[in-house]
Structure 1
């Protein structure tokens, strides 16, 4: 794996992980200030927002990243700069249009999500308020995403990472401050507090945009006057440029919609299915909050790694494919997938085994029994999320965008076919099973298409994945025994601090066991590559 890909992935992974962790931590005080109904209302607003955001950006930022990477590799820097300038205008227009449509159609989406005129003190008017408050972020976020895509097209990942973290910090500070002020100082309703909590997405986006402008000013001369064109520019008409970008962007729309669509299917059908099955209203709304807001925040941490790999992989694979460097292309695909398996599999095994203390660390007092059960089942799905993200990125890098769309559509059809029936049979776990089935079908199709069109063999990947599964299973057994032993002295169910102690001790020992076994089996050396090889040889020579 090239040093540039590793470095870019590391920077984006660090930024994404910090953003994800902050996105979990803020829920601790937020969940303490608002009831489960507030969490459910919060998720109802965000479910609509994420769908419209993906449509507003139309895959354009990622497509621009691919476009810039391609033309930079050809030495045509002028064409990539022209595309960026035109893209700014497009993102401003689509962002404002998406905001206007979501704002005006809020009553329709509110009625669809609630299933009834009122659920556990949440009315349709409450949902309308929250949806309209979060819709304002659509004016800013598409533009911010485009600028990030331009930097990524130059394989400069720092601006994206830093802006993600600053955006999250600004959003959280405003969110918690507004919630505390409304509920504890002004003695307002949790509905108004949740409205301002969703409005924090707009405030955070302003913060992230300012960071990108700062980077732009610092790097303007480097980016816009990189060097003279190495090739004679063809002065492509804007129409031709947009046609090429939209050819890239179309699949990005659908692939970027993957998790939001799956979440939206649950948001719009979960309450209906539970009520039809005769479930209690309060129990339903509590499980809704846990399944669609609390637990996904934990599960998405391992997925952040795959997201970072996907963002850095698309420009790198595009460059290798454009230059017809097949050996490098195969190496990038193979080692990326191996790294995903190496890091994500033990993470999801550990999260599933430690579901009880892990959930209590963040959400102690918020439907703990439901949360532990949902997290235990949901954690393994993070591996499917991760593989789908990278899988789609590979197909797009190979210019097989339509196949990425087909892969997603197949999975969504499976989810739609199974979701209501499985929810009625198994409640929240049924939703998780339907999601896992959908992603599994997408992955089977996606990997088959990658093999067909790249010529890569997955034999080594399967072999090493099997070894990773063995090591992770052993680590899981160690974690299970360790949790039982710690339970003699410390019961994590007694409170958040007890859960923190159990989780920290178990994660530290389990992580050490896994890394030690991976090191002794030479798995780390084989997957990570040259730097670790040199380190290992030096250690052996000195030893």
Structure 2
């Protein structure tokens, strides 16, 4: 729960800061930032969701927290292996920055790639500290470090971009300043973690000079292979963005679009990233709180409890993910204007918004499978999905531009969903929701759509009362969320689409349950 809360806060911050940042630097500046962001996303996933998990697992499985000698050997092995990984990735991105920028189609990105490559040097410190605390059962230091890292990073990005733009610096220099936030955030997280180590009087454990000095190659191999597997699962959206960074802008240029216009088009397309992050954060947070319960029931050999928890997680991911997807698609024009100053790219972003539903389902199923001990199968599916995305970009982006790229993303995610569902069926031999559930949920969404369409039509005459279209779009967006959400929740309760146990897992679940109980009476 502590790590889930930290992840929720960091995901919200990660999505929200992009809005004022885009308002400061514009679509071209946003394009510059988003081209490089996936590289930072890889470094973040490695130091947050991948290697610390494996380090903590090794510490717990080998009970090294009860043996100081073993603990030192574990820390030394993990640090040296991850230092090698971090240095290797730094060399690849730093010295390959020029080549990578050329592949992206924009050589001016070279200095920004060099800046972001430095963040890989922080990998061993962040991963080992976090893995150690998680391994001994203390999640608080990891959670605090994640939140502080994101706060400092976001503050650096917004401060530097504001100062640099006002001083007349170029958008590429401003982008470099924004990338510097990855370093300030990472260093802040290391200082926080070291403070916890110092307070706990555990500094000797982390000393590479302390004896004995012994490297366990079996631990190192497990760290690399299992850590990479978990990292890939945690990098799904990042890897999809990386495919767009490597291919979309260069594809637009090849098809005769002028450089400035192509950058603006790509920047508008990138508006979809924070929308998807915000749309999935609620569904995945609600669903993944069930993962420890699934794991616990599985280890106890309680098959029926496992199936019950998996069913709940699956149904919640669909109910919440579908509402977020359809609601955003209906309100996308005012939401686009409210957040990004105009409604450019609304048609493309509507296609992109379908990613919310599929991503919610995928992240839920990934969490469940990992909780059941399946790590490698989901990794294969994600890698296949990335290949599908790349091929889709080659085919559809070449023909339809950013619409084609958005469709390629949705199609790749749908392929991953199908593969994960088939895997779940092979494990449990059954579906986790009846056809009646899907029909009732579909009817609820259709009613919400009708109400939102009516809201947009009825509110349109009020535009003349507002000074600007952007201010009016705030009314349309928030009014639509409240009205559409209320209708959807009411129908969900009225039709008993979620059982009592499932309702209690939602925000204000006890109140929703009391309403459903009164309706039955």
Deviation (angstroms), 1:67: 4.5
Taking the aligned partners of 2:304 and 2:43, their CA distance within structure 1 comes to 39
Deviation (angstroms), 1:16: 3.5
Preserved contact between residue 60 and residue 136 of structure 2 (Cα < 8 Å): yes
Aligned to 1:446: 420
Residues 184-195 of structure 1 correspond to what in structure 2 (within 5 A)?
184-185=166-167, 187-195=168-176
Classify 1:207/1:523 alpha carbon distance in 2 versus 1 (closer, same or farther; 3 Å): farther
Preserved contact between residue 69 and residue 319 of structure 1 (Cα < 8 Å): no
Classify 1:151/1:457 alpha carbon distance in 2 versus 1 (closer, same or farther; 3 Å): farther
Taking the aligned partners of 1:55 and 1:207, their CA distance within structure 2 comes to 17
Which of 424, 427, 430 matches 2:404? 430
Aligned to 1:42: 33
Aligned to 1:197: 178
Taking the aligned partners of 2:308 and 2:3, their CA distance within structure 1 comes to 20
Residues 11-410 of structure 1 correspond to what in structure 2 (within 5 A)?
11-12=2-3, 14-51=5-42, 59-67=50-58, 83=74, 86-114=77-105, 124=107, 126-141=108-123, 143-145=125-127, 147-148=129-130, 159-185=141-167, 187-214=168-195, 238-292=216-270, 294-305=271-282, 308=285, 317-365=294-342, 368-370=343-345, 372-410=346-384
Taking the aligned partners of 1:86 and 1:519, their CA distance within structure 2 comes to 53
Preserved contact between residue 295 and residue 375 of structure 1 (Cα < 8 Å): yes
Give the stretch that moved more between structures: 397-406 or 311-320: 311-320
TM-score, with structure 1 as normaliser = 0.81
Deviation (angstroms), 1:369: 1.9
Taking the aligned partners of 1:513 and 1:534, their CA distance within structure 2 comes to 16
Taking the aligned partners of 2:295 and 2:423, their CA distance within structure 1 comes to 17
Deviation (angstroms), 1:330: 2.1
Deviation (angstroms), 1:199: 1.0
Deviation (angstroms), 1:138: 1.9
Gaps of 5+ in 1: 1-7, 115-122, 225-235
Deviation (angstroms), 1:127: 0.7
Preserved contact between residue 317 and residue 397 of structure 1 (Cα < 8 Å): yes
Deviation (angstroms), 1:52: 5.5
Give the stretch that moved more between structures: 353-362 or 86-95: 86-95
TM-score, with structure 2 as normaliser = 0.84
Taking the aligned partners of 2:322 and 2:93, their CA distance within structure 1 comes to 38
Taking the aligned partners of 1:527 and 1:188, their CA distance within structure 2 comes to 56
Q: Aligned pair 1:500/2:471, yes or no?
A: no
Give the superposed CA RMSD: 3.6
Deviation (angstroms), 1:456: 5.1
Classify 1:511/1:58 alpha carbon distance in 2 versus 1 (closer, same or farther; 3 Å): closer
Deviation (angstroms), 1:347: 1.0
Taking the aligned partners of 2:150 and 2:372, their CA distance within structure 1 comes to 33
Deviation (angstroms), 1:538: 9.8
Q: Secondary structure at the match of 2:169?
A: coil
Q: Secondary structure at the match of 1:175?
A: helix
Deviation (angstroms), 1:247: 4.8
Deviation (angstroms), 1:157: 5.5
Classify 1:327/1:313 alpha carbon distance in 2 versus 1 (closer, same or farther; 3 Å): same
Classify 1:378/1:519 alpha carbon distance in 2 versus 1 (closer, same or farther; 3 Å): same
Classify 1:65/1:534 alpha carbon distance in 2 versus 1 (closer, same or farther; 3 Å): farther
Taking the aligned partners of 1:95 and 1:189, their CA distance within structure 2 comes to 31
Q: Aligned pair 1:486/2:459, yes or no?
A: yes
Classify 1:510/1:538 alpha carbon distance in 2 versus 1 (closer, same or farther; 3 Å): closer
